[in-house]
Structure 1
């Protein structure tokens, strides 16, 4: 398998997206061997190039480095007639287009799906927006924070009412964008396979709101089954007990008891088998129904020993658990090192790599703005140096 080409070798992707959801999708495609050409505005580029501090060793915002490895950056001014024509020409030779402009925003450049597919019927054209191409909110811009609020995610995140610091909370990373990027990638790959089979592409209508709603998973299913809106439970789980953070003698530990046999083993670790023997706590259903009394009994026991002492005990007892690490501690852990998830590049650049790699996968750092403009125009469109000089003179490329 080491000598086999990457799964998407030979696939050309025109990336007209910015910020996170779209770039997250195209980064995955690039990881798997697609030739991803990222179109950026001359002089400024993707918005996230300026989303700092912090900055990396090459002066770019660290945020940009999270979603743009293995791509080629081409600086073209879409607002100029010549620039728009260049992008149309690139689209005609691409297999996939990914864009996240406002609904209808690319039509004036001749880069909407109808225009592009008229020249290239096999194109898989992925449009990523906040609310989709239809519906009463289709005209609205969509940002991750707003989507977390609108889909109910924030209503189930944070401390419960009546507790200290109780208020709806957003998740600590832009999960709505990231879920959308993942959903977009799977849809693109399915559509690409279909296009190769029947010779006809399609437009994919991918919305942050739709993807985050789907990613509510069991919380949405719980409401649909009962009609009762889920409530915030802090670090507890709505359907499993005990499955939460506990205070220890010197910090905190997460315990994730996933079934009834684990609960019996957990009680043995606490030196309290009598807790596991109580009839109303022998099943997860009973533990959920009597959550408050059970947790009130367990919590003081966890405070009698340090986090490390409990970790050793739970390791011996086969109980799923973890200390709460900082991001730095997580990235520097033995597990991360063993899995080679941190990539070191020239100039001191470091990035988190692809979590599901293929042999021979590329490992190029995110590109500087316009680093591949000349290369791509030569390779794709056959431009020579003089032609590109003329385009720079009129400001069509950077």
Structure 2
């Protein structure tokens, strides 16, 4: 068998980011094999350690400071605590940067320049450095100095404008998506930009600065719906659970639950009318075009489909849809997701050894990049405790035990 290596084996990443978008980008690089050193504040750590609704219980009553928020975005990292506001802490960062390939940070614009840790200062130490700054609004412009969080950009960038219950119905209005989607996508965009910069450096030897903004990602995420507006000049309405492409595409009700039906193409619609034993609907002037089914007469059509679907269980309907090739899926609550046969087959629940957890392991969400044939993403280590690897990392850059003890006494680490 040919030996395979991780795609980013040998790449060293300094992760000075906090909360979610930046940590997600660094985690992706770690999943692909990079050595990610997470720099945190002494004693306090990443702000994200306190976010979320659940925490990993520690062994023997140990407080792990690992919230669900932190746990979802910080595996495959080593943690060092450094107070970069102190000169000795700045020296540590500079020493780490000398042999680093990538640095990721998400401080306010200009914040790290005060400490000589901005791109221009660190490039003088390491010209090959790829320096990625993740901010809310970007490095320049009238709003660059503002802090920004996910929900703000779901509101500002247009996502909430096209998400929510349609006007005229009870509860109508814009709605924020549940997960921190702008943060998550921004983290992926940052990782993509870094990978592109690594490729460029492999050809030229040159590092570069990367300016990633949550605002940019939030606008781009509206995607084809925003493109509808740019082409047509009219803002598409909110469709609730309705699809944004073809129709019928919406929630349907069964005797024991609900499903999502996506029969937007003409052929899928024809098959559905046959399955419903109402083939005359295919030629019905109310429904004989995608525009009519998806928009003009969507509510009327969904009422007809729901009258039919309520006669069956979700399992019966799934079998019927699968039998004729109509895309549909059962709605799952979060606990039901993990019972899905295909979720189990894809090993999406990744039980990971955790030396400090009460149970000895923690369940993580597998990387979507885990099925690359030669260099799959892997989960090698659970998220670290605050400063778990401080001594180990400092010793690799020349600090001895006595100096480490001095730095700890001075609250530098």
Report TM bin, short chain: over 0.9
Q: 2:367 maps to what in 1?
A: 354
Give 1:360 deviation, angstroms: 7.8
The answer to whether the Cα contact below 8 Å between 2:243 and 2:262 also exists between their aligned partners in 1 is no
Give 1:362 deviation, angstroms: 4.3
Please point out which of 75, 86, 96 is paired with 1:80.
86
- In structure 2, what is the Cα distance between the partners aligned to 1:329 and 1:295? 26
- In structure 2, what is the Cα distance between the partners aligned to 1:284 and 1:30? 44
Q: 1:317 maps to what in 2?
A: 324
Q: 2:235 maps to what in 1?
A: 229
Matched, 1:176 2:182: yes
Please give the per-residue CA displacement for 1:241-266, whole angstroms capped at 9, x wherever unaligned: 10111222333211011311111111
Q: 1:24 maps to what in 2?
A: 24
Give 1:122 deviation, angstroms: 1.0
Q: 1:391 maps to what in 2?
A: 407
Give 1:168 deviation, angstroms: 1.0
Q: 2:105 maps to what in 1?
A: 99
Give 1:280 deviation, angstroms: 5.5
The answer to whether the Cα contact below 8 Å between 1:88 and 1:110 also exists between their aligned partners in 2 is no
Give 1:192 deviation, angstroms: 1.2
Give 1:304 deviation, angstroms: 2.6
- In structure 2, what is the Cα distance between the partners aligned to 1:356 and 1:28? 9
RMSD over aligned CA atoms reads: 1.7
The answer to whether the Cα contact below 8 Å between 2:369 and 2:377 also exists between their aligned partners in 1 is no
Q: 2:134 maps to what in 1?
A: 128
Q: 1:294 maps to what in 2?
A: 301
Give 1:88 deviation, angstroms: 1.6
Q: 1:368 maps to what in 2?
A: 385
Q: 1:71 maps to what in 2?
A: 77
179 and 2 in structure 1: CA distance in 2 versus 1, 3 angstrom threshold:
farther
- In structure 2, what is the Cα distance between the partners aligned to 1:314 and 1:360? 34
Please point out which of 231, 244, 254 is paired with 1:248.
254
The answer to whether the Cα contact below 8 Å between 2:20 and 2:69 also exists between their aligned partners in 1 is no
- 1:54-69 aligned at under 5 Å gives the runs 54-58=54-58, 59=64, 60-69=66-75
Please point out which of 197, 202, 205 is paired with 1:196.
202
- In structure 2, what is the Cα distance between the partners aligned to 1:196 and 1:7? 14
Please give the per-residue CA displacement for 1:28-86, whole angstroms capped at 9, x wherever unaligned: 00011111000000111011112244111334212210000000000111121101111
The answer to whether the Cα contact below 8 Å between 1:2 and 1:360 also exists between their aligned partners in 2 is no
Q: 1:334 maps to what in 2?
A: 341
SS of structure 2 residue aligned to 1:354: coil
SS of structure 1 residue aligned to 2:264: coil
Matched, 1:33 2:26: no
Please give the per-residue CA displacement for 1:216-268, whole angstroms capped at 9, x wherever unaligned: 11111000011111221100023311011122233321101131111111112
Q: 1:7 maps to what in 2?
A: 7
- In structure 1, what is the Cα distance between the partners aligned to 2:2 and 2:386? 32
- In structure 1, what is the Cα distance between the partners aligned to 2:404 and 2:393? 11
Note the residue ranges of structure 2 that are not aligned, 5 or more in a row: 59-63, 355-359
- In structure 2, what is the Cα distance between the partners aligned to 1:325 and 1:208? 30
Q: 1:119 maps to what in 2?
A: 125
- In structure 1, what is the Cα distance between the partners aligned to 2:336 and 2:316? 19
376 and 215 in structure 1: CA distance in 2 versus 1, 3 angstrom threshold:
same
The answer to whether the Cα contact below 8 Å between 1:57 and 1:349 also exists between their aligned partners in 2 is no
SS of structure 2 residue aligned to 1:4: coil
**Post-superposition, which runs of at least 4 consecutive aligned residues in structure 1 deviate over 6 A?**
none
Q: 2:170 maps to what in 1?
A: 164
Please point out which of 204, 222, 228 is paired with 1:216.
222
The answer to whether the Cα contact below 8 Å between 1:241 and 1:291 also exists between their aligned partners in 2 is yes
The answer to whether the Cα contact below 8 Å between 2:369 and 2:376 also exists between their aligned partners in 1 is no
TM-score for both structures, normalised by structure 2: 0.92
- In structure 2, what is the Cα distance between the partners aligned to 1:31 and 1:210? 25
Please give the per-residue CA displacement for 1:320-344, whole angstroms capped at 9, x wherever unaligned: 1112101111123222221112222
Please point out which of 269, 278, 281 is paired with 1:272.
278
215 and 52 in structure 1: CA distance in 2 versus 1, 3 angstrom threshold:
closer
